[in-house]
């Protein structure tokens, strides 16, 4: 399946790159703000949820800076008929290149959201600005480069709080706080929010970070390690690459990968496979769910999200976007970007991590944990457990979903009256 995805995503690009290498002219690869992502014939997530016999809703909310964000919701469970009962809110936030559909690929028997609904929760799904479902703005056109001037900082600072406040208001049960589950970038944005707008700590009951990504010096991913020396600094490459919609066949990205990795590793899918970043190793993957992954992904992102991660990989810091010293001076009043003050995070964080995760290395997760005042570590014992396994593994129901839901239910029992 990885191969099929790889061919789907990459064959065309490889051909393009072959041409590009001969031409060796970077100018044609300047910003192309035209949205190029194929979104036709994609079934909307609410329809997929209904197909599984669960009620589904689609909601929109507007962030402080004007992005129109789509949320999906499983408001209750048909099995429980609990629409009038108290249903604690849980918000699920997807990773990079992804969208809310990533949570439901393994279906009603196994995917976390359905089990949450059947345990009485009001289940909400966020979609970060720029992805399949969140491609609109009150004043800026999707085709304008300004639409794409954001990294995961803005997703954490604007999108996530807008989602939380909207879910709380719409739930209507006078809940003051929520449970949060994030995967990969969904963890980064939570850490951004809780360290930058500390009042949101009080809106968290329990927070579950699957494959937490903050510090990145030790990550093992070949693609990132290859490209970060180019794109993780303010230079001509990042200037050409930055602030546009990332499409998997981004020409400059492929050109760099091609030069750095060589054509052979590209053809073998060793160096540039986005599917690999989404799905990780295949050892534990539910293969039946892979066609659903291919139908719904990749789901759109800004190239600045990638640049920001590559900066972290290069610098070893978990900090704001590096615009170069003069613009940093203007933005932050200092020549280097300020750190995210994760030591200020008081919310109850649960870090779920594993040995075979190429994007969230154990050493880096532990470095983060050392700074967090209120966290609990959940190391996955299976040594083959990879980055994508948190949502895609056959064993996710027992290894991840059950213990996560137990922690939430336990919280509800202890604090039920405070809500």
Ligand X SMILES: *[C@@H]1O[C@H](CO)[C@@H](O)[C@H](O)[C@H]1NC(C)=O
Count helices and strands (H / E) in the chain.
19, 10
* Residue range at the interface with ligand X (CB under 6 A); choices 27-35, 51-59, 281-289, 374-382: 281-289
Judged by CB under 6 A, does residue 61 bind ligand X?
no
Among 107, 120, 145, 338, binds ligand X (CB under 6 A): 107
Is 194 within 8 Å of 200 (Cβ atoms)? yes
Between 181 and 289, CB nearer to ligand X: 289
C-beta of 108: minimal distance to ligand X in Å? 8
C-beta of 104: minimal distance to ligand X in Å? 8
- Applying CB under 6 A, the site for ligand X has a residue count of 13
Among 26, 68, 362, 409, binds ligand X (CB under 6 A): 68
Judged by CB under 6 A, does residue 110 bind ligand X?
yes
Is 389 within 8 Å of 354 (Cβ atoms)? yes
Q: How many CB atoms lie within 10 A of CB 41?
A: 6
C-beta of 82: minimal distance to ligand X in Å? 23
C-beta of 290: minimal distance to ligand X in Å? 9
Helix (H, G, I), strand (E, B) or coil at 137: strand
Residue with tokens 């909307």: 44
Is 94 within 8 Å of 186 (Cβ atoms)? yes
Per CB under 6 A, contacts with ligand X among 380-409 are 394
Torsion sign across C-alpha atoms 232, 238, 244, 246? negative
Record the tokens describing residue 261, joined without a space: 């990795």
Residue numbers annotated as active site: 184, 387
Among 78, 83, 138, 235, binds ligand X (CB under 6 A): 138
Task: Say how far apart CA 91 and CA 179 lie, in whole Å.
Answer: 6
Contact flags string 2-31 toward ligand X, x per CB under 6 A: ------------------------------
Between 1 and 68, CB nearer to ligand X: 68
Between 177 and 285, CB nearer to ligand X: 285
Is 121 within 8 Å of 89 (Cβ atoms)? yes
Task: Say how far apart CA 13 and CA 350 lie, in whole Å.
Answer: 39
Task: Please tell me what DSSP assigns to residue 129.
Answer: T
C-beta of 378: minimal distance to ligand X in Å? 20
Is 390 within 8 Å of 416 (Cβ atoms)? no
Q: How many CB atoms lie within 10 A of CB 402?
A: 13
Judged by CB under 6 A, does residue 136 bind ligand X?
yes
Task: Please tell me what DSSP assigns to residue 93.
Answer: E
C-beta of 375: minimal distance to ligand X in Å? 28
Judged by CB under 6 A, does residue 294 bind ligand X?
no
Judged by CB under 6 A, does residue 109 bind ligand X?
yes
Nearest to 401 by CA among 70, 46, 73, 90: 90
The residues of the shown chain that bind ligand X, judged by CB under 6 A, are 68, 105-107, 109-110, 136, 138, 286, 288-289, 292, 394
């Amino acid at each position: 399946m990885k191969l099929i995805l790889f061919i789907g995503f990459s064959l065309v690009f490889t051909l393009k790159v072959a041409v590009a290498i001969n031409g060796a002219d970077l100018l044609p690869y300047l910003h192309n703000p035209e949205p190029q992502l194929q979104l036709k014939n994609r079934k909307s997530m609410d329809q997929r949820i209904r197909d599984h016999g669960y009620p589904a809703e689609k909601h929109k909310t507007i962030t402080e800076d004007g992005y129109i964000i789509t949320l999906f919701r499983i408001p209750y469970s048909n099995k429980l008929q609990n629409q009038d009962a108290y249903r604690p809110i849980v918000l699920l936030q997807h990773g990079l290149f992804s969208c809310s559909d990533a949570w439901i690929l393994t279906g009603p028997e196994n995917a976390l959201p359905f089990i949450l609904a059947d345990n009485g929760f009001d289940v909400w799904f966020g979609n970060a600005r720029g992805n399949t479902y969140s491609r609109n703005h009150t004043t800026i056109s999707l085709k304008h480069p300004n639409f794409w001037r954001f990294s995961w900082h803005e997703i954490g600072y604007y999108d996530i709080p807008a989602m939380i406040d909207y879910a709380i208001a719409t739930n209507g049960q006078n809940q003051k706080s929520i449970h949060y589950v994030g995967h990969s970038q969904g963890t980064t944005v939570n850490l951004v929010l809780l360290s930058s707008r500390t009042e949101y700590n009080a809106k968290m009951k329990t927070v579950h970070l699957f494959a937490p990504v903050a510090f990145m010096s030790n990550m093992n991913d070949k693609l990132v390690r290859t490209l970060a020396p180019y794109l993780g600094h303010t230079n001509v490459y990042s200037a050409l690459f930055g602030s546009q919609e990332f499409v998997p066949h981004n020409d400059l990205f492929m050109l760099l990968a091609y030069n750095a990795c060589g054509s052979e590793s590209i053809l073998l899918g060793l160096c540039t496979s986005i599917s690999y970043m989404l799905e990780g190793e295949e050892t534990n993957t539910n293969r039946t769910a892979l066609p659903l992954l291919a139908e719904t992904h990749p789901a759109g992102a800004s190239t600045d999200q990638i640049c920001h991660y590559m900066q972290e990989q290069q610098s070893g810091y978990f900090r704001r976007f590096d615009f170069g010293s003069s613009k940093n001076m203007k933005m932050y009043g200092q020549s280097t970007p300020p750190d995210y003050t994760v030591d200020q995070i008081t919310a109850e964080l649960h870090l779920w991590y594993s040995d075979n995760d190429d994007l969230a290395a154990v050493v880096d997760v532990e470095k983060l944990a050392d700074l967090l005042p209120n966290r609990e570590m959940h190391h996955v014992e299976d040594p083959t457990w990879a980055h994508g396994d948190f949502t895609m593994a056959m064993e996710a129901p027992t290894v991840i979903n059950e213990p996560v839901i137990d922690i939430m239910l336990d919280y509800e029992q202890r604090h039920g009256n405070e809500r």
